[in-house]
Amino acid sequence: MYTIDPRLPLPQVLDQYPSGAPQRRSHVNDYLLVPREMEHFNSLLARLGRTQPPLQTDQLATAARNLNNAAGDESASPCITQRMRHAHLLEQLLQETDWEPAAEVSCELHMVIAYLHASHQLIPDTVPGVGQLDQAIVIDTVWPKLAGEVTNFLDYQRLRQQEAERQGRGYHDIAFNRRSWLELREIEARLHEHQRRVREGSYAPAPLSYFRVH
């Protein structure tokens, strides 16, 4: 399954509910987080599957500071960059007109893409280093539910390319939808199982047992 690299986690503070008196930090770098937009963002995360308490501005401010300190410059942290690559895969998935997303993940897919392309997000992309932190949090939240669909889509692309090459045509020049992928995947699975049995056995008849006459 296509997973997020566990070596590149988002800051742990995002999953740790602040203890004691609430903090007052509301800035990500120099950008002020707006309470109403925080509410909308937390509502989105809840619909995407977040089970932890709603995020507070102090958690985002601390996470941004930690990422900026680790990066040492204004470039995006590797953990954010990786999740944005995952976001690009989700965009590819929905842009592939011949691929029909599974019904049980379609709603989440469209919610994520709508947020990624929203004209106004919780943190503007222009904030140095951490402008996509909110998008990375969205991807991190929804990924457990979408990872299987992305894995299937990547396999669909692989088999479609193989079928196009077999026909001597281009990737987009053949008719190939989700049903076509399922059928070809089943054929491939049966072939692999056949090859496994051949490796473990033999077409030759079993040798006769030797016996002695006393």
* pLDDT of the chain, 214 residues: tens digit per residue: 788 899 999 999 999 876 655 567 899 999 999 999 999 999 999 999 999 999 999 999 999 999 999 887 778 899 999 999 999 999 999 999 999 999 999 999 999 999 999 999 999 999 999 999 999 999 999 999 999 999 999 999 999 999 999 999 999 999 999 999 999 999 999 998 888 888 887 555 555 444 444 4
Phi, psi of 46 (to 5 degrees): -65, -40
The token pair at 78 is 């590797």
Q: Return d(Cα 23, Cα 137) in angstroms, integer.
A: 21
Which sign does the torsion angle of CA 49, 50, 53, 56 carry? negative
CA 51 to chain centre: 18
The span from the CA of 75 to the CA of 130, in Å, is 8
pLDDT for 99 equals 97
Percent helix, strand, coil in the chain (nearest 5)? 60, 0, 40
What integer pLDDT is reported at residue 24 of this predicted model?
74
Burial class (CB in 10 A: 0-12, 13-18, 19+), 93: buried
Q: HEC states along 192-210?
A: HHHHHHHHHCCCCCCCCCC
Query: d(Cα 28, Cα 61) in Å, to the nearest integer?
Result: 5
Lookup: tokens for 189: 């699975």
Tell me what pLDDT residue 72 has: 76
28 - beta bridge partners?
31
pLDDT (0 to 100) of residue 50: 96
Q: Which long-range contacts (CB under 8 A, 24 or more apart) does 148-152 make?
A: 148/1, 149/93, 149/101, 149/102, 149/105, 149/109, 150/2, 150/86, 150/89, 150/90, 150/93, 151/1, 151/2, 152/102, 152/181
